[in-house]
Structure 1
Amino acid sequence: MNLITLGPEGTFSHELALKIAGKTKETILLVPTIHGIMSAVARGGGDGIVPMENSEAGSVGETLDGLTRFPLSITAEMYMPIHHNLASADPLSKIRVIYAHPQTNEQCSECIEKWGIPVIHTSSNAISAIEAKKTPHAGAILSETAASIYGMPVIVRNTQNNAENITRFVRISTEPVRDSNPEKCSILIDPRTDRAGLLHDLLHAFAERKINLTRIESRPSKRGIGNYVFFLDYAWSEETADALDELRKITTIKELGCYSRVEVAP
C-alpha cells in the first residue's frame, strides 16, 4: 500500500512516514500540500499521514478543513517530538531573510523575534531549505534531517519556543479502522444554527455519560461570518454510541473515526 505524506523529502511528516513505513513496508509518496494528500487518499491512492495539531502552535487548519471536505476516516494517531534548527551557509549576523513554514514560524517565534530577521513563509520545511539555498544571505528553519538532506549547515540548534514541542499526526484512510477497543474518537459537528445554549446542549450528551472530551475546537464553516463547525475528540467508552444518538436529534454529525495511538520510535 502507498503511504502519502507531505513532501519534498525532509519534512517532519516525511520523517515520521519513514519510521512507519520501515515497519509496514509501505511505499511512501510525497505530495506538496495537505489538501493534495487528502485528495489523493480520497481517490483511493493509499493512506495518508498529516499533522493534526502542535503543542505550541495549535491545530493545523488545512487538516481540519480537509476532514470537513473529504470522506475520510482517522485510523490512528502518532506523537512526534519536534526540534527546529536554523540552517544557513552564512553566520547569523549576515542572514537577511529566513524561510519558514507558518507553523514553524509560530513554534520558533521567540528566537525569530529576538533575531529581528524578516520571515518568508513556505509550504513546508523542505521548501524552506530549497528557497534558502538559492537566496543570498538567507536561512531556513527546519529539522536536522532536512538540513542534512539539503546540505545546509545548522548554525543555531533547538530554536523552538518550548523544549517539549510535540506534533500530533493522524493516519487517514477511506475506511474506518475496525478496532473493538479504540482509545479515542473524533467527530465533526455542524449545528447549522445559532441559538442560546447550543454549545451546552452539544456537550451535555458527553457530560451526563462521563465521557472525557480531550479536545474541542471551532472552525469557520465557510458559509459566512459567525457560522462555525466544531471538532471534538473524546475518550472512547461503551456510552459513545448513545451520546452520538442523542446528538443526532439536534445537529448534524460526521464521524471521523475511532482509533488508537501508535508508538513511533524516536
Structure 2
Amino acid sequence: MKIGFFGPAGTFTEEAASTLEGELVSYDTIPEVFEAVHVGDVSVGVVPIENSIEGSVGVTLDLLAHQYLLKIKGEIILPISHNLLINSDGELKDVKVVYSHYQPLSQCRMFLEKMGVRTQATRSTAEAAEMIKNKKNAAAIGTRRAASLYGLKIAAEDIQDHENNMTRFVVIGLHDHAPTGKDKTSVVLCLSKDRPGGLYDIMGEFASENINLTKIESRPSKEKLGSYIFFVDLEGHHNDLKIMNVINSIRSKVGYIKILGSYPQEGDD
C-alpha cells in the first residue's frame, strides 16, 4: 500500500504516516496529497487537520468540504514536541535567526522571545532543518528525525510554550472505515437560511438521540460575507441506525449536509 503524506521527510506528518503499514510517498502540499489519492497514485493520504493550540488546518477542511469526494477513514493523534536544532559544530549562543513552519514558530513564541532572535517562516519544519545545515548563526525548530536526516544536533528539547500540544491527522481515502463499535463521524453542513435558532434546532436533533458531539466549528462558506458552513464531529458511525435517523431528519432543515467519513475514534478528544 502506498501512503501519501504532506512532506517532506522529517516532518510530524511523516511521523504520523509512519504509524501505518506501507510505502511512504512525500508531497509538497496538502492539495497534492488529496489529488494523489483521488487519481489513485496512492491508496491513502495523511494530512494534518487540527492542532490543540493553533486550531484547525483550514486548507484540509476546505478540500474535504468543497473540492473532493474523498472520505476520512482514520485519525492519528500525535503529541508534538518541538526541538531547537543547530549545526553540528554550532553554538546556541551564536544563533541570530530561527527558521521553521509558521505554526511551530507560533507555538514556541515565548522561548524564542527569551532568546531574542529573529524568526523566518518556511514551508515545513524539514525545509527549515535543511536550510541551516551550513549556517552557524541559524537554528531550526524541528523533529528528532529531521536532526538525524540533516546531521544537526538538538540544542534544546520541548521548547513549545504549552505542554499539552497535540496534532490530529486524518487518513483520507476513496472510502471510509467499516463500523468498529467505537467510531467517530465527521460531517459538514450549512443552514438553508439564516434564522434565529436554526443551528440550535439541528443540534437538538442530535441531543434527542443522545448522540455526543465532540466538535463544532464554523468556517466561511466562500459564497458571501457572513455565510458559514459548520463542521461537526460526533460519536458513532454513519451506518448506526440512530445516526442515520438524525441525518435524514435534518436534511429538510439544512441547505446541504455531507458526510466526510466514519472512522475508529482514537484517544479522548
TM-score with structure 2 setting the length: 0.89
Residue 31 of structure 1 is aligned with which of 27, 32, 35?
Answer: 27
- Is 1:260–2:264 an aligned residue pair? yes
Give the partner amino acid of 2:261. Answer: G
Counterpart residue number, 2:17 = 17
The within-5 A match list for 1:47-196 is 47-68=44-65, 69-89=67-87, 90-133=90-133, 137-179=137-179, 181-191=181-191, 193-196=193-196
Counterpart residue number, 1:249 = 252
Counterpart residue number, 1:7 = 7
**CA displacement at 1:71 relative to structure 2:** 0.9
CA distance in 2, matches of 1:151, 1:229: 45
CA displacement 1:2-61 (0-9 Å, x = unmatched): 10001111011112222322xxxx211100111111121122222001112112222111
| CA gap 1:6/1:243 in 2 versus in 1, 3 angstroms | same
Give the partner amino acid of 1:54. Answer: N
Tell me if the contact between 2:184 and 2:233 (Cα under 8 Å) persists in the aligned partners. yes
Give the partner amino acid of 1:147. Answer: A
Q: Helix, strand or coil for the counterpart of 1:13?
A: helix
Q: Which consecutive residues of structure 2, in runs of 5 or more, have no partner in the other structure? A: none
Give the partner amino acid of 2:263. Answer: Y
CA distance in 1, matches of 2:234, 2:111: 35
Tell me if the contact between 1:78 and 1:261 (Cα under 8 Å) persists in the aligned partners. no
Counterpart residue number, 2:222 = 222
**CA displacement at 1:108 relative to structure 2:** 1.7
**CA displacement at 1:96 relative to structure 2:** 2.1
CA distance in 1, matches of 2:171, 2:184: 13
Q: Give percent identity, aligned residues only.
A: 37
Give the partner amino acid of 1:246. Answer: S
Give the partner amino acid of 1:4. Answer: G
CA displacement 1:108-163 (0-9 Å, x = unmatched): 22212322322222221111112233556221101111111111111111111222
Tell me if the contact between 1:182 and 1:258 (Cα under 8 Å) persists in the aligned partners. no
Q: CA RMSD in A?
A: 1.8
| The 10-residue stretch of structure 1 (37-46 or 250-259) with the greater mean CA deviation from structure 2 | 37-46
CA distance in 2, matches of 1:193, 1:102: 37
CA distance in 1, matches of 2:102, 2:59: 12
CA distance in 2, matches of 1:135, 1:203: 54
Q: Helix, strand or coil for the counterpart of 2:132?
A: helix
TM-score with structure 1 setting the length: 0.90
**CA displacement at 1:190 relative to structure 2:** 2.4
Tell me if the contact between 1:56 and 1:106 (Cα under 8 Å) persists in the aligned partners. no
Q: Helix, strand or coil for the counterpart of 1:216?
A: strand
Runs of 4+ with deviation above 6 angstroms: none
**CA displacement at 1:246 relative to structure 2:** 1.8
| CA gap 1:192/1:119 in 2 versus in 1, 3 angstroms | farther
Give the partner amino acid of 2:244. Answer: A
